[in-house]
Amino acid sequence: MTLDEIKKREMAVLYRIDEETVRQQAIRLGMYEGAKLFCLEKIPGGPIVLQSEYSEMAVGRKLAEKMQVKMLREYAAE
């Protein structure tokens, strides 16, 4: 699934980001494969507000569609 499908107060694990510059910027902020992301809020039709291990941030909806994530349960099972 992609990050925009996450629901409020759910925890997901980052799996893949396809866009190169975004991926590189995300690495700097501590978001790379395996990073846990907790959804603090979803603005309807707008950004997803996340808590990552190190900080809170907002990710635009279109960007979230490009971020592959797995639900924490599934990720742990693999």
Partner 1 sequence: MANVVLAGNPNVGKSVIFQYLTGIYTEVSNFPGTTVEISKGKYRDDVLCDTPGIYGISSFSEEERIARDMILQADIVINVIDAAHFGRDLFLTLQLLDMGKKMLVCLNMMDEANKRGIAINSKRLETLLGVPVIETTAAKGENLEQLSLCLTKASTGKRTLEIATMAEAFLPICGNFAEAVLLLEDDDFLRMKYQQKPCGKREESYLLRRKRADKIVRETMTCAREENGGRQKRTDILLHPFYGSFILLGALLAVFLFLGVLVARYVVGFTENYLMKRLLEPLVLSFVQQWCKPESFFGQLFIGEYGLFTMVPSYLFGLILPLVLGFYFVLSLLEDSGYLPRIAVLADRFLNRIGLNGRAVIPMILGFGCVTAATVSTRILETRRERVITTALLALTIPCSAQLGILLGNIGKLGFVYTVVYILVLLFIFGLIGTVLNRRLRGVSANLLIDLPMMRIPCLKNILRKSFEKTRQFLADAFPVFALGAILLTILSVSGILEQVLKLLSPLVVYGLHLPKEVTEIFLMGMIRRDFGAAQFHGLALNREQSLIAMLTLTLFVPCVASVMMIFKERSAKEAILIWLFGFLLAFGVGSCLAAGFSLMGVMK
Applying CB under 8 A, the residues found at the interface with partner 1 are 8-9, 20-30, 32, 38, 40-47, 49, 51, 53-63
> Pseudo-torsion of CA 64, 41, 6, 19, nearest 10°?
10
Please, which residue, 49 or 71, has the CB nearer to partner 1?
A: 49
Residue 73: CB minimum distance to partner 1, A: 17
* H-state helical runs in the chain: 20-28, 61-65, 72-77
Rounded to whole angstroms, the Cα distance separating 68 from 15 reads 5
Least Å from the CB of residue 47 to partner 1: 5
Closer to partner 1 at the Cβ: 44 or 78? 44
Q: List C-alpha distances in Å: 39 to 13, 20, 21, 32, 74.
A: 11, 23, 23, 16, 17
User: In this complex, which beta carbon is closest to partner 1, that of residue 46 or of residue 73?
Assistant: 46
Task: Work out how close the CB of 76 gets to partner 1 at its nearest, in angstroms, rounded to a whole number.
Answer: 15
